[in-house]
Structure 1
Amino acid sequence: MRLAALAAGLLLPMMTHRFSGLFTSTVLLLFGAAGVAFGLMPWVIRLAWRIDAIDRPDARRVHAEPTPRIGGVAIFCAVNLTLLLNFDYSLALKGATISATVVACLSLWDDLRPLSAAVKLLVQSVALLFLMLCGIHADLGNSLWWWPLEFVITALWMIGITNAFNFLDGINGLAGWLAVVVSLLMGLLAWHTDQEYMLKLCFAVAGGALGFLPDNARYRAPARTFMGDVGSTYLGWIMAAIALMGDWSSEGVVKSYSAPLLIFSVMIFDMIYTTVARIARGDVRTLRQWIEYVGRDHLHHRLMDMGCSQAASVVMITAFTLLMGLAALAIIKSSLFATWLLLAQAVVFYGVLSFLMLQRR
């Protein structure tokens, strides 16, 4: 079955040109990437055992058995192969996939053989610069005077979303389902606004994450693999790049930036909440401590402390993301007043969620 899925996954991207409808042909990329990821996973799992890329249980982790942690390799191989075999690329699509692959490989190497902070910063900076040269960056205007500020905003967004997504990779299925939902939401926006290459990238990413889930989102049996930092880094980076790649609205800054912020708002909320809480407790005092600190205080941990199972926590957080994503879809056709109302609704929602989380400290 795995070989059949792999073969079908490699074949489907080459068949997209036979279909006239953009949405129909792009759906083939989703199933193609899912097939490749699902088909490659047994080989990636065997490789993990061979090179000892294994997560072993400890007091911080919720799993009970040693588990391979490089399942993300199959995800980025699936996405990249699917797009490559489609033989239709834009400069922005190349920038997003190549830069995401570079930072994912850096993460994999650092996981197996730790690198110095200087080396990691250098490689990440090169990947970020390459991304911007491919046209993916915060757009503040045509003047060169804005370029330094655009670089800073782009860097903060890319690093922030990548880390926020990594923080939520804490229980089986959560990161995978979030990647599927977020990518499909951005894909629907891309389809609605006729952004062909963004649509292809979104559906390929969703497919890669979907093909990973059968080996990870298991609640009655141990997960066969985790995506690991290599997977969460790749998915976080490429989804953040897609958000910058998209032309969300031509009706002003508020609507243009509100849509991606709402889609990513669950990740952003979790990162801000845990950061503020850790600083308040005195657990984090420097940027390095913030990056390296690990604890059981994320949104999924809080939900489990409230009595939710792993599966229920995944469903709830995914539902929160879908709820905010539907609001983002509504913004595209809404008036400016309605946009502000939807943003106010999100603020109230996260205010209530913060209150509930504080009650369980």
Structure 2
Amino acid sequence: MALCVSAIPRIIYISKKKKLLDQPDSDRKIHKEVIPNLGGIGIFLGFSVISSLLINSAEFTQWNYVLAASLILFLTGIKDDLINVNPSKKLIAQITASMIVVMLADFRLEHLHGFFGIYEMPYWLSVLLTVVGCTFISNAFNLIDGIDGLAGSIAVICTFFLGLAFATTHNYSPAIISFALMGAIIGFLRFNYQPARIFMGDSGSLVIGFVIAVLSVVLTQKVKHFEGNVLFHSPRGVLLGALSLLFIPVFDTFRVFGTRLMKGRSPFQADRTHLHHYLLDLGYSHMKTVIILSLCSLVIIGITFFIQDYPVNVSLCVIILSACALFTLLFFMRKSRMNLPVENKSKKNKLIL
């Protein structure tokens, strides 16, 4: 956190001096002023330096692969933030990074503990599912990075619970990685909450999503001992907990992609249909939107801890139904507001704010 807090003002200064700024050049972009978008540099600096200094390399021998894969995404994100990268090239970089941790570090989903009736998987399916999952989650965090403080706040929740889960199961090196990333993001958020002085950019969101995805895989497959653990009672509970941590970005991305496909459009065509856009349309500020979605994430995580001992597919259905109920409420609130006469909308906005 201290490294990131000390680095960000210098990044802002250099970005403004060299005019490395994010231009509000489309209807989808919410900000109206030019703002630096290289906050990912500070996040990557804090996360990588502290993790490299403190983890036990003898205990966590795969750290070099995680760092190398993260560096690929960091450099890809920097290039995209500065001059834009073709989406296909960005996807290739994400798949390459995922392949490094899956093939070389051997971090992969080997067992689904009965989810959808699937238990131990063959090697090829394990590799395929993990690569697709890491790539998808990396993109999911990139997609929810649409308003000040949202992606960072969700990521802080994820890394806090991941670090806690690792620490309570005596896996201290992955716990250090989780807390180092959390600290770096907290340091960045000091400058990113509305009114934002800097954005994390793709160099931040891609790395954050990827590292959280990798840590989730490590948690679900490498943690074996649960005796006396206050958080998780079984491998099945760990897998359910990891899904709940990632549920808001994953649910939002699935929903948006599905909506676009049903309308006959490309799933990668940008629009204003994300959850945070719905809340903004209801008249909430950036800060209130972040708080609402963060609370929704905490509610889903809390529900998961209480139902982790139920049959696995029953637990998954409860989580999905809870998220769908929250979204349905939000959808009809937005729809009713959009149908109001103009004079009533302004009154309702004043009431909400």
| TM-score bracket for this pair, using the shorter chain length | 0.7 to 0.9
Matches within 5 A, 1:244-283: 244-246=217-219, 247=222, 254-283=236-265
How many corresponding residue pairs? 314
Mark the CA change 1:36 to 1:91 in structure 2 (over 3 Å): closer, same or farther. Answer: same
2:78 corresponds in structure 1 to: 108
2:61 corresponds in structure 1 to: 91
1:16 corresponds in structure 2 to: none
SS in 1 for 2:190: helix
Provide, for residues 149-168 of structure 1, a one-character-per-residue CA deviation record: whole Å limited to 9, x for no partner: 12210111111111111111
Indicate whether 1:36 and 2:10 are aligned. Answer: no
1:60 Cα offset (Å): 1.3
Contiguous gaps of at least 5 residues in structure 1: 1-33, 285-289
Contiguous gaps of at least 5 residues in structure 2: 113-120, 226-232, 336-353
1:64 Cα offset (Å): 2.1
1:229 Cα offset (Å): 0.9
| 8 Å Cα contact 1:67-1:224 kept in structure 2 | yes
Q: Match for 2:108 among 119, 132, 137?
A: 137
Indicate whether 1:47 and 2:14 are aligned. Answer: yes
Mapped partners of 1:167, 1:236: distance in 2:
10
Mark the CA change 1:71 to 1:122 in structure 2 (over 3 Å): closer, same or farther. Answer: same
Mark the CA change 1:326 to 1:352 in structure 2 (over 3 Å): closer, same or farther. Answer: closer
SS in 2 for 1:91: coil
2:208 corresponds in structure 1 to: 235
Letter in 1 for 2:319: A
1:217 corresponds in structure 2 to: 193
Mark the CA change 1:322 to 1:78 in structure 2 (over 3 Å): closer, same or farther. Answer: same
Matches within 5 A, 1:137-216: 137-140=108-111, 146-216=122-192
Provide, for residues 15-56 of structure 1, a one-character-per-residue CA deviation record: whole Å limited to 9, x for no partner: xxxxxxxxxxxxxxxxxxx00000000121123224433122
Indicate whether 1:126 and 2:96 are aligned. Answer: yes
Mapped partners of 1:149, 1:104: distance in 2:
28
SS in 2 for 1:150: helix
1:282 Cα offset (Å): 2.3
2:274 corresponds in structure 1 to: 298
| 8 Å Cα contact 1:95-1:136 kept in structure 2 | no
Indicate whether 1:310 and 2:286 are aligned. Answer: yes
1:335 corresponds in structure 2 to: 309
* Superposition TM-score, scaled by structure 1 size: 0.79
Q: Match for 1:353 among 299, 323, 326?
A: 326
Mapped partners of 1:217, 1:43: distance in 2:
18
Mark the CA change 1:95 to 1:328 in structure 2 (over 3 Å): closer, same or farther. Answer: farther
Mark the CA change 1:278 to 1:313 in structure 2 (over 3 Å): closer, same or farther. Answer: same
* Superposition TM-score, scaled by structure 2 size: 0.81
1:97 Cα offset (Å): 2.8
Mapped partners of 2:284, 2:153: distance in 1:
17
SS in 1 for 2:62: helix
Mapped partners of 1:120, 1:213: distance in 2:
25
Q: Which stretch of structure 1 is more off in the superposition, 87-96 or 250-259?
A: 250-259
1:354 Cα offset (Å): 3.1
Indicate whether 1:64 and 2:61 are aligned. Answer: no
Letter in 1 for 2:34: P
Q: Match for 2:49 among 78, 81, 91?
A: 81
1:202 Cα offset (Å): 0.7
Q: Which stretch of structure 1 is more off in the superposition, 262-271 or 88-97?
A: 88-97
1:93 Cα offset (Å): 3.0
| 8 Å Cα contact 1:83-1:201 kept in structure 2 | yes
Mapped partners of 1:336, 1:249: distance in 2:
19
After superposition, the CA RMSD in angstroms is 2.5
| 8 Å Cα contact 1:140-1:146 kept in structure 2 | no
Letter in 1 for 2:130: T
Mark the CA change 1:243 to 1:355 in structure 2 (over 3 Å): closer, same or farther. Answer: same
Mapped partners of 1:75, 1:201: distance in 2:
13
Provide, for residues 325-349 of structure 1, a one-character-per-residue CA deviation record: whole Å limited to 9, x for no partner: 2344456xx5344x65543431221
Provide, for residues 251-280 of structure 1, a one-character-per-residue CA deviation record: whole Å limited to 9, x for no partner: 776434212111111111101111111122
1:8 corresponds in structure 2 to: none
Mapped partners of 2:71, 2:296: distance in 1:
29
| 8 Å Cα contact 2:159-2:179 kept in structure 1 | yes
